[in-house]
Amino acid sequence: MRKLIKINIYLDKLNNVNAKIVINIIVIIILTVACSSAPRFTKIKIVEDDPKEELLLYENLPSLETTYGIASYYADMYHGRITYGGEVYNMNKLSAAHPSYPMNTIVRITNLSNNKKIILRINDRMPNFKGRAIDLSYAAAKELDFIEEGLTEVKIEVLKWGDGKR
């Protein structure tokens, strides 16, 4: 604010009205540009649509690889954060984190306690927890019906290998 006052005092000393107008315009432009927000990240992918219908195209494909393990889910603590794949994590959309599968791998997850199944895409990495095979979004855990338990034993079937692109 002091700089602005000093500039105005300096402008008062100028006799030329056109010079005052030009300098005022330049100051306004500089202040406007300096106060504008800058993007926080450069490679953010915002996925607006729910790819549920698109994922159903993979429903009848044979499994390329099958593994078994414990699934957990992550929800509001990570909601809105950037995933390893560069997307904004939305806990209300179907997605998963895996320690090693390439990004964009399509998998079918079967909850072995109730035989419920979903198809989703890997878009994040997870830490390598002993005995933990996959982390699912809140929406995926809800569809597989294990919110109360927090963990469940699952079968993971790879339907299409991802390109690994972020």
Q: Does 17 share its domain with 83?
A: no
Closest CA to 137 of 95, 89, 86, 84: 95
Q: Does 73 share its domain with 149?
A: yes
Query: At a CB cut-off of 8 Å and minimum separation 6, what does 14 contact?
Result: 20, 23
What is the distance between the alpha carbons of residues 26 and 23, in angstroms, rounded to a whole number? Answer: 5
What is the DSSP track for 113-126?
TT--EEEEEEEE--
What is the distance between the alpha carbons of residues 100 and 85, in angstroms, rounded to a whole number? Answer: 13
Per-residue confidence (pLDDT) for residue 41, from 0 to 100: 47
Q: Does 66 share its domain with 31?
A: no
Query: pTM score, two decimals?
Result: 0.65
Residue 132 has pLDDT above 50, yes or no: yes
Total domains in the chain come to 2
Q: Does 87 share its domain with 135?
A: yes
Classify residue 82 by its DSSP letter. Answer: B
What is the distance between the alpha carbons of residues 89 and 123, in angstroms, rounded to a whole number? Answer: 9
Q: Of 79-93, 129-143, 146-160, where does the model show the most confidence?
A: 146-160
Q: Does 27 share its domain with 82?
A: no
Domain that holds residue 9: 2-35
Compute the average pLDDT of residues 61-86.
83
Q: Does 26 share its domain with 108?
A: no
Q: Does 153 share its domain with 121?
A: yes
Q: What is the CATH number of the domain that holds 57?
A: 2.40.40.10
